[in-house]
Amino acid sequence: MEIDEFVSKSIGEWSSMRSGHSLAFKQFEEIISNLRINLLSKNEPEIQDFLNITGYSKDQAISPFEIEWEGESNWEETKGSQRQLRGHSLLIPIKHSNNSGIILRSKGYAEAIQAISNYEISSDGTIFFSTTYQQTIAEERIWFINKNVRCRSSVIKSINMSGILQTSFASEIRKIKQ
């Protein structure tokens, strides 16, 4: 599988169940959210602007896309309020080989800042991302169970490699079955 096929399989609306595990405190977090993943044209002004900022050209970009998410976490349930989660990120893949490269992200996953992820797609179709942020390193894996269900796991480590802060796992179900 190459990155354009991975993006193409991911386009659509997804209902997500996500569990976070804080290892040090043995705490669970449960998050229910909706994701919308849209393919974008290379000619969209926001894509052009983001390429300009990052120093890449339109010719290098492959299947740029955006992710919008909106959800609720039970993290604060004990305090009588739920944590609202909402966000939007542009993602632009740049290939280095058929099954590897980088993804420019306007907003990161572990930290809400611009980030560059390395990706690699294995022979069984799992995509691996590794992203170095200011304080943390995030390692993610995404794989499809079938065309309507995908799984996503992540591990967040502190930048000094001394500890694993959190793991998480999401089951994502396509809202309109294909």
3-state secondary structure of 178: coil
Q: How many CB atoms lie within 10 A of CB 122?
A: 12
Residue number with CB closer to a second copy (132 or 171)? 171
- 78 in contact with a second copy (CB under 8 A): no
Closest CA to 131 of 153, 152, 98, 105: 105
| Binder of a second copy out of 56, 69, 133, 169 (CB under 8 A) | 169
Contacts of a second copy in 16-75 (CB under 8 A):
17, 19, 21, 23, 26, 28, 30, 32
- Which positions ≥6 away from 10 have C-beta within 8 Å? 37, 65, 142, 150
| Binder of a second copy out of 1, 85, 165, 173 (CB under 8 A) | 173
- In the DSSP assignment, the letter for residue 98 is T
Residue number with CB closer to a second copy (30 or 70)? 30
Residue with tokens 């996503």: 152
Q: CA-to-CA distance for 155 and 106, rounded, in angstroms?
A: 20
Residue number with CB closer to a second copy (25 or 59)? 25
Instruction: Tell me which residues touch a second copy (CB under 8 A).
Output: 15, 17, 19, 21, 23, 26, 28, 30, 32, 122-124, 126, 128, 139, 145-146, 149, 151, 153, 155, 164, 167, 169, 171, 173
